[in-house]
Amino acid sequence: MSYPRMTIDLNIIRNNVKTVVSLCNKHDIKVAGVTKVFCGNPKIAQAYVDGGVSYLADSRIENLIRLKDFQIPKIMLRLPMKSEVEKVVEYADISLNSEIETIISLSEKAVEKGKVHKIILMVDLGDLREGYYSDESLFQSIEKILELKGVRLAGIGTNLTCYGGVIPNKEILNRLSSLAEDIEEKYKIRLEIVSGGNSSSIHLLTKDEGIEVINNLRLGESLILGREAAYGKQILGTDAGGFKLQAEIIELKEKPSVPTGEIGKDAFGNTPTFVDRGVRKRILCAVGKQDIDFDNIHPIDEGIIILGGSSDHLILDGSDSNIDYKVGDIVEFKMTYVSILRAMTSEFIEKIILE
């Protein structure tokens, strides 16, 4: 057994997924379970499937390849690179798109493989990441797609609260659904999917706010942590404690809380500031910014303060704790999104899956 280590409780995740999926199903919304935060780990993905998701979705093709043995439809979330269209057609049934050149390449590869690849066209409703910004350019692409043999237009979708921080509301989702209706009427087709965003759309479910105009959500954070992402509220019946980090203490000494000498930039190019709390018990743990994000871990011992650290070190203040820590002891933290993502990606963190 080695440290640092993270534990992943599949019971908690499965239960979160069941709770969120049944909330969505009540509104006739199918859930695409987003696996990128845990790098497409198949055991965790199985908890998604057991919990009732209708699709598995990831932004990285490498992760979708890890999920190839699952028999449910898979969605490529990030707009495919032209250089990866062959893999996308091979390992994803559906992809989100906004560039006709890429869609043409996807169609060519699909024809070669004797497949029909489904396309969800992304519409930018103000968050300014991916998607068509003008209806005219969207309609032009649709006309072209309808002529292609290897792809089929499965639907439209939008992404919000990722770059611009725009929070989904009734008006925004109505724009998406009226676009879908326009498309169906104009081209005499049926759109199977109207995908109304990610975990930041969940708050609309609990308020009954116009969410019935969409029929699909792509959810990551709300499944693994039970947290809706617009306001950061915990969803009733879920648990945020599925992922925990354990780090080992390698130094423990009384030191002042302000450095001595002229202060320049720290290891990450920022100029640090310090609160003078006098001489304190400082705890050094063997885990760093390479493996986690210090803003996204929370000590389970409430007496511990996170002071900061560097690539390979986490520095804690243990003076207010009731526990008499020793070198070699383990400190435990709850993890939130960015830390889970980084830790799952780090080969320096051992992962223990609790089934």
Catalytic residues: 36
Minimum CB distance to ligand PLP smaller for 220 or for 226: 220
DSSP E strand stretches across the chain: 5-9, 30-34, 55-58, 74-76, 94-97, 117-123, 151-158, 193-195, 216-219, 243-256, 279-285, 297-299, 305-309, 314-317, 330-335, 350-354
Where in 15-44 is the site for ligand PLP (CB under 6 A)? 34, 36
**Site for ligand PLP (CB under 6 A): which residue of 9, 84, 124, 221?**
221
The region of 84-92, 165-173, 215-223, 258-266 touching ligand PLP under the rule CB under 6 A is 215-223
- Yes or no: say if 209 and 170 are a contact pair by the CB < 8 Å rule: yes
Separation in Å, CA 47 to CA 40, 62, 216, 248? 12, 20, 20, 29
Q: Which two three-digit tokens encode residue 38?
A: 């845990």
227 contacts ligand PLP (rule: CB under 6 A): no
198 contacts ligand PLP (rule: CB under 6 A): yes
Shortest distance (Å) from residue 298 CB to ligand PLP: 19
**Strand-pair partners of 351:** 6
Minimum CB distance to ligand PLP smaller for 5 or for 14: 14
Where in 288-347 is the site for ligand PLP (CB under 6 A)? none
- Rounded to 5 degrees, φ, ψ at 8 are -125, 115
Query: Tokens 């708050």 identify what position?
Result: 203
Minimum CB distance to ligand PLP smaller for 117 or for 218: 218
Q: Which two three-digit tokens encode residue 45?
A: 């993905």
Where in 96-135 is the site for ligand PLP (CB under 6 A)? 96
Using CB under 6 A as the criterion, what x/- string covers residues 82-101 for binding ligand PLP? --------------x-----
Q: Which residues bind ligand PLP (CB under 6 A)?
A: 34, 36, 59, 77, 96, 159, 198-199, 218-222, 229
